[in-house]
Amino acid sequence: MSVLTAAVVVVGILCVLDLLLSFGIIRRLREQNETLRNLRERQSAAQPPIMFPAGTRIELSDVDVNGALVGFFSPNCEACKERLPEFIEYATGHHGKVIAVAAGDADEIADLVVRLGEVAEVVVEEMGGPLHTAFGTEGYPAMCVVDDDSTVVGSGWEMSALPARATR
């Protein structure tokens, strides 16, 4: 009986020790999460916008962008490869026009054009082209939603910068 009592005491001590270690790990993870959040906020505040921010009116005469979802992508951009599936998913539920701008050499952008062509009208142009200039695009990926009055309602390089998507 004393062996059983000793085993229960040892298991109890181990459980308390495990609980204390778990609380310590949780506290460290929360501290790390807070540090990462602060770092992201400082980085986003320090970086210039990748394209015109919300509230900017887009002046374009050749292309109708009213109510459009617009995305700028480059085949040599790792972040573009990461955001492309999210953009395509967002585009499938977008109730307006979808325009995707692919920048790069014709051979390099072939796959990009095919994938984007499933959900968007694809425009091929280099950085500094008319659409890049009209949207103030400074890098890739860059995405925005334009309202029916040609005013940007959300823009950025992450999908979270865009307004919640309205489904059909």
Structural domain total, the chain: 2
By percentage, how much of the chain surpasses pLDDT 70? Answer: 94
Q: Indicate whether 125 belongs to any domain.
A: yes
Residue 166, pLDDT > 60, answer no
Instruction: Kindly report, residue by residue over 46-104, the tens digit of the pLDDT.
Output: 566 889 998 999 988 788 888 999 999 999 889 899 999 999 999 998 888 999 999 98
**CATH value at residue 125:** 3.40.30.10
Same domain (yes/no): 94, 129: yes
Q: For the segment 61-71, what is each residue's pLDDT rounded down to a tens digit?
A: 788 888 999 99
Q: Same domain, yes or no, for 134 and 101?
A: yes
Parent domain of 106: 69-161
Q: Which one is predicted more confidently, 136 or 45?
A: 136
Q: Is 53 within a domain?
A: no
Do 28 and 88 fall within a single domain?
no
| Greater model confidence, 120 or 41 | 120
Query: Considering the domain boundaries, does residue 54 fall inside one?
Result: no
**82 & 135 share domain:** yes
166 domain residue, yes or no:
no
Q: Tell me whether residue 167 is in a domain.
A: no
Q: What is the pTM assigned to this prediction?
A: 0.70
* Residue among 117, 121, 128 nearest 97 (CA): 121
Residue type, 81: K
